[in-house]
Amino acid sequence: MTNPIHVAVLMGGWSNERPVSLMSGNGVADALERKGYRVTRIDMDRDVAARLAETKPDVVFNALHGVPGEDGSIQGLMDLMGLKYTHSGMVTSVIAIDKELTKQRLVPHGVPMPKGTMVSSASLFEADPLPRPYVLKPVNEGSSVGVAIVKDDSNYGNPIARDAKGPWQEFDNLLAEPFIKGRELTTAVLGGKALCVTELKPKSGFYDFDAKYTDGMTEHVCPAEIPADIEARMLELALQCHTLLGCKGASRTDFRWDDELGLDGIFVLETNTQPGMTPLSLVPEQAKHLGIPYEELVDMIVKEALA
């Protein structure tokens, strides 16, 4: 049966996460075609407004990752054009991609997050901003792009050497946070409901960009093997972050859990408003665990955007 609804799937773009976005977008487009939607695939370039105006979709499925698909830019453009689109709106996107703004929004409401401080990259070559181990990350990149963990035994030097490879070579300012030892967990929210908790066990190092998107580099334990009170708290926090930030469609909140501290060891790292939709991605995996197949998942996201 043909569905007369016309969906433009927006993917690609020019961020560091372009390859992932193309995988997400093509997966979504294939699934929507199987559901009978009329689908137009748009690999975003600088003429995206003209392409969207030409396409005249009923709704846009935003499968972009990173800037400008996740930071409010494309959302503002589509708002101006009067287009309906999936996932979060402009204001939410602006706040959620910025780790410092996210903290300002969530921490006053009791959401536990690591205490962070903004530092200039140049200052790192003089002295450490925090006691080691600590984490340095760009304030507005997703998918663990440009994250460095600075330890006593890291080969960055002490203080960090100017020629050491790291985010300080790409970004003028970075967010420094204490390193939280323990386990990496994540929870998706869909249709106003937290799905489940997945533990991520990278085969080596930490859960960085390569570990996220290279098959076999990270083991996903879904559902996570954690105590019931920890699971319940993470589901509650993920839904709280989704609601406080004003997310729509699917979101995914990432946690570190120091299991020696029990409930006091849970820390929210960030909420992702444009979670991946690739075959390795966590939202489709959690949905599948709850009996929601991939086609139904993308259909639900489109229907919420249309509503």
pLDDT recorded at residue 141: 66
**254 belongs to the catalytic site:** yes
Does the pLDDT at position 95 exceed 60? yes
| Cα 158 from Cα 124, distance rounded (Å) | 9
Q: Is the peptide bond before 223 cis (omega within 30 degrees of 0)?
A: yes
pLDDT recorded at residue 209: 47
Residue at 43 is within a domain: yes
Last residue of a domain, one of 178, 203, 222: 178
**213 belongs to the catalytic site:** yes
pLDDT recorded at residue 142: 54
**272 belongs to the catalytic site:** yes
| Active-site residue, from 208, 231, 270, 299 | 270
| Active-site residue, from 143, 166, 199, 294 | 143
**276 belongs to the catalytic site:** yes
Domain containing 147 equals: 117-178
| Active-site residue, from 12, 17, 121, 265 | 17
Burial class (CB in 10 A: 0-12, 13-18, 19+), 57: buried
The CATH number assigned to the domain holding 231 equals 3.30.470.20
Is the pTM of the predicted complex or chain greater than 0.85?
yes
pLDDT recorded at residue 242: 98
pLDDT recorded at residue 203: 78
Measuring CA to CA, which residue among 167, 205, 211 is closest to residue 186? Answer: 211
pLDDT recorded at residue 139: 83
Number of compact structural domains in the chain? 3
Buried/exposed 144-159: b ≥16 CB within 10 Å, e otherwise: bbbbbbbeeeeebeee
| Active-site residue, from 88, 93, 272, 281 | 272
pLDDT, one tens digit per residue, over 282-303 is 999 999 999 999 999 999 999 9
Residue 64's pLDDT band, with cuts at 50, 70 and 90, is very high
Quick one: 34 and 60 in the same domain? yes
Quick one: 124 and 234 in the same domain? no
pLDDT, one tens digit per residue, over 236-262 is 999 999 999 999 999 999 999 999 999
**270 belongs to the catalytic site:** yes
| Active-site residue, from 251, 256, 276, 299 | 276
| Active-site residue, from 21, 213, 265, 299 | 213
| Active-site residue, from 18, 41, 233, 252 | 252
The CATH number assigned to the domain holding 24 equals 3.40.50.20
Residue at 1 is within a domain: no
pLDDT recorded at residue 169: 92
pLDDT, one tens digit per residue, over 152-201 is 988 899 999 999 999 999 999 999 999 999 999 999 999 899 999 999 99
pLDDT recorded at residue 120: 95
Least confident residue range of 63-77, 90-104, 140-154, 279-293? 140-154
Quick one: 199 and 272 in the same domain? yes
Quick one: 238 and 273 in the same domain? yes
pLDDT, one tens digit per residue, over 23-59 is 999 999 999 999 999 999 999 999 999 999 999 999 9
pLDDT, one tens digit per residue, over 187-240 is 999 989 999 999 999 876 654 445 444 556 789 999 999 999 999 999 999 999
146 against 30, higher pLDDT:
30
Does the pLDDT at position 144 exceed 80? no
Residue 2's pLDDT band, with cuts at 50, 70 and 90, is low
